[in-house]
Amino acid sequence: MTTVGKKQKQQSKPLTKAVTDDARRNADVLQRLQKIEKTMHTYCIGQEEIVEQVLLAYLTGQHLVLIGPPGCNKTRLIDTFIRLVGADERSYYRDTKQTPPARTLSYTFKTNLNKFSPPEELIGPPDVKALIENGKWSHALENSVADADFAFFDEVFSANGATLTSLVRILNERQVHNGTERINIRLRSVFGATNNPPLPTIDHINDRFLFHVAVSYLNTNDQGAFMRLCKNYVREQRAKFNGTAPESFVPPEKLQPVMDMRMLDYAQNKIAHVVIPVRMLDTIYALRNDLASSKSIILSERRWVVGLKALQASAWLRNATEVEPCDIWTGLRDVLWARLQDREAVRVLLAEYKSQTSTSNDADARQEAQRVYEDALRDTGDRQRDIDRRLDATATLVEINEKVIEQTLRIEIERWMNAIEAISL
């Protein structure tokens, strides 16, 4: 092997190893997310579609609001999810009294907003010490939303105007005003919950939440889901008072994190590299026009553009490298509406697109199958003709060999007959 060949071989080994390690890590993160989704289904009965959308918001770094009546497990769902994805490690290590790793622990800021909530409830109380010592007005940002990776605001749309103004900056720019300074914060996603749909007067707040997810009570005809809900409650009560739960049931507050922030960074990097083909952009454009013309639903450009992240995340969760039509339903069904009354119309239109895509895909599949079948027949015919040619050649060769053998035997017999006659004489 030449020197250049040796160098190329040596360089290819680390590259191959890097690709293999990345594929292994990708599979590991996807497996962890599947475990989180499965665990959430155990604790959040009948809310499988909601869990899927919460997972998309987490992976895309976007905001989500749950809209539904009181008592349908909105807060419980978010609390369980935050625990599983390792988004509140401070609370986890504090509650379990374990030694935390030597790195910055993730933190989730939680509060319940109302019309009396001041902006200080979000960005921290006034820093009296700094005011006395330096004469500057500022806030103590520690353990506030400015110090958090995630946030959960219950009754998010009930805050007053001043607090909502601060919230807009937090949601959109990921910034807070601290005295005369504007500070960038590391906030990834905000999860909100509300019992009542937002009024049109705060559409500028509502539009900052990319995902709007409607939550309702269990279907009255779903007895199985209701029975599982009751069994979970009984198990939790036993675990609360006895310290143990039957059938290895783990109460939600004692669940161990499955993900961490480094894994989330890796997942978001992979999602950013998922390809969105031009044909998919054409489909999105057609969908936008259909919503405006047939359903009178006009959405902001921000919602359409940022919604592409949801399509990429949906594709990556399928372990795909390119967005496909099937991702439209998963990624956009709770993105393309901002008012609750538009939800069903959006779902009906997306179902039509999904059906058309499935029919188109079926037709394409049939055409592809027909082409493969014809190619197979053509290949079979070619192979058969080749076999016939080989058989003819073999038969000719056998015939020639038989004639050669026959002639050789005749010559040998004549030679032996001549020899016998000579001996007789």
pLDDT at 37 > cutoff 90: yes
Residue bearing the bigger pLDDT, 270 or 15? 270
Predicted pLDDT of residue 132:
78
CATH architecture designation of domain 28-258: 3-Layer(aba) Sandwich (3.40)
Predicted pLDDT of residue 384:
64
Predicted pLDDT of residue 327:
92
Predicted pLDDT of residue 177:
84
Least confident of 24-33, 56-65, 247-256, 355-364: 355-364
Closest alpha carbon to 173 in 182, 181, 164: 182
115-137 average pLDDT score: 83
Predicted pLDDT of residue 29:
95
pLDDT at 14 > cutoff 70: no
Predicted pLDDT of residue 318:
94
144-162 average pLDDT score: 92
Other CB atoms within 10 A of residue 107 CB: 20
Tell me how far apart the alpha carbons of residues 43 and 66 are, in angstroms, rounded to a whole number.
17
Least confident of 133-137, 152-156, 174-178: 133-137
247-274 average pLDDT score: 88
pLDDT at 239 > cutoff 80: no
- Strand 108-112 vs strand 175-178: parallel, antiparallel, or unpaired? unpaired
Least confident of 38-52, 346-360, 387-401: 387-401
- Is the Cβ–Cβ distance between 335 and 210 less than 8 Å? yes
- pLDDT tens digit string along 347-368? 989 988 877 665 555 555 556 5
Other CB atoms within 10 A of residue 141 CB: 18
Q: Is 46 left (phi over 0), alpha (psi -120 to 50) or beta?
A: left
Give the bridge partners for 139, in sequence order. Answer: 126
Tell me how far apart the alpha carbons of residues 158 and 160 are, in angstroms, rounded to a whole number.
7
137-145 average pLDDT score: 83
Tell me how far apart the alpha carbons of residues 313 and 319 are, in angstroms, rounded to a whole number.
10
128-138 average pLDDT score: 78
